[in-house]
Amino acid sequence: MIAIEFILAGMLAAATPFLLAALGELVAERSGVLNLGVEGMMALGAAIAFITVYTGGGHVPAFIAGGICAMILSLFFAFATIGLHANQVATGLAVGILGLGLSAYFGKPFESFTVTGIDKIAILGLAELPLVGGLFNQDIVVWLSLLFTVALWYVLTRTKLGLLLKAVGENPHAAESIGYPVRLIRVGAVAFGGFMAGVAGAYASTVYTPLWADGMIAGRGWIAVALVVFGTWMVGRVFLGALLFGAVSLGGIAVQTVGLAIPSQLLTSLPYIVTIVVLGIISSNKRLLRLNGIASLGEPFEK
């Protein structure tokens, strides 16, 4: 019982870094660009945001600074892949590693320091409910992330901008021939993805676990990339996937507190095992992938 209450209360916050990074990557991939540097961009965003809060900058500037630094990193990636037609996978990996290195460099003087997180906002009436009450007592970033998810879903499915993004991802040559600036749209999508990864990292280092430790992103960026495929490039499914991972990552801790004799290493690897299994199941549904998949994903666009 306590374990379930614990998971329900914490899973939204645990899911937020996955969710924000994955939604950013979803936008980039919808335009046809596969950016595998999410992990590094998150780490850089996390380091910069932590330093900003620690040096007294406050949380709002910290999120913005983290987002912008990660966005700048993503623009390097955009320049190489969209401007120079470099291979997206290799460039993404390289930029990711660069981001991890930069985060370690900037974060070095702050290793193991902590900052104060932010207060939670409870929804009156609901937060007092037994068992599920914790679900309605979350920090402002979680609430904003939920609003952002709905807004992004609206933009992608109900507006011309969303349609355009999908069109560019499906057939960049056709989009160019009817007069749209394909490269510019792709750069914009990648930059947005970078900003979101930075914000996701900022949340992880200044709110969710408000401390700096090198390597603290710990693979969450990779899971975000997997989540996009897992969610077949649809906002709603990516949201559900992020929730699942949030819950699974807490499940490990919950099981330990209950005192089951399962090695903790096995429990912490749970999210990754779940990733592989779910990706395997999704990939077996060819119809779903074909209808929602991004036809030009990963391919350089040359006239």
Q: How far apart are CA 136 and CA 129, in angstroms?
A: 9
Segment interacting with another protein (CB under 8 A) among 47-55, 64-72, 157-165, 269-277 = 157-165
Q: How many residues bind another protein (CB under 8 A)?
A: 21
Q: How far is CA 74 from the centre of its chain?
A: 14
Give the DSSP letter string of 177-209.
HTT--HHHHHHHHHHHHHHHHHHHHHHIIIIIS
Minimum distance from residue 181 beta carbon to another protein (Å) = 9
Nearest to 82, CA basis, from 40, 147, 33, 29: 33
Radius of gyration for the alpha carbons in the chain, expressed in angstroms and rounded = 19
- For residues 262 and 53, the answer to whether their CB atoms sit within 8 Å is no
Q: Is 302 in the site for another protein (CB under 8 A)?
A: no
Regarding 166 and contact with another protein (CB under 8 A), the answer is yes
Tally of helices (H runs) and strands (E runs) in the chain: 13, 2
Secondary structure of residue 137 in the 3-state scheme: strand
160 binds another protein (CB under 8 A): yes
Nearer to another protein, 124 or 178 (CB): 178
Sign of CA dihedral 83, 88, 94, 99: positive
CB-wise, 265 or 290, nearer to another protein? 290
Which span (56-64, 73-81, 259-267, 284-292) binds another protein, by CB under 8 A? 284-292
Which of 1, 60, 84, 178 binds another protein (CB under 8 A)? It is 178
By beta-carbon proximity to another protein, the closer residue of 170 and 214 is 170
Q: Which is nearer to another protein, 178 or 260 (CB)?
A: 178
Residue 227 touches another protein, criterion: CB under 8 A: no
Question: Segment 40-99, which members bind another protein (CB under 8 A)?
Answer: none
Residue in 56, 130, 179, 259 binding another protein, rule: CB under 8 A = 179
Closer CB to another protein, residue 166 or residue 237?
166
Is residue 282 at the binding interface for another protein, with CB under 8 A as the rule?
no
Residue 6 CB-density burial (10 A; 0-12 exposed, 13-18 middle, 19+ buried)? middle
Token couple for 91: 């460039």
Strand spans (E) along the chain: 120-122, 137-139
Please check whether residue 168 is in contact with residue 186, taking contact to mean a CB–CB distance below 8 angstroms. yes
Residue (109 or 181) nearer to another protein, CB: 181
Structure tokens at 267: 């429990």
Q: How far is CA 133 from the centre of its chain?
A: 26
129 binds another protein (CB under 8 A): no
Least gap, CB of 204 to another protein (angstroms): 34
| Smallest distance, another protein to C-beta of residue 186, A | 16
Instruction: Find the shortest distance in angstroms from Cβ 228 to another protein.
Output: 17
CB of 287 to another protein, least distance (A): 5
The verdict on 167 binding another protein (CB under 8 A) reads yes
Residues that bind another protein in the complex, under the rule CB under 8 A: 160, 163-164, 166-167, 170-171, 173-180, 286-287, 290-292, 295
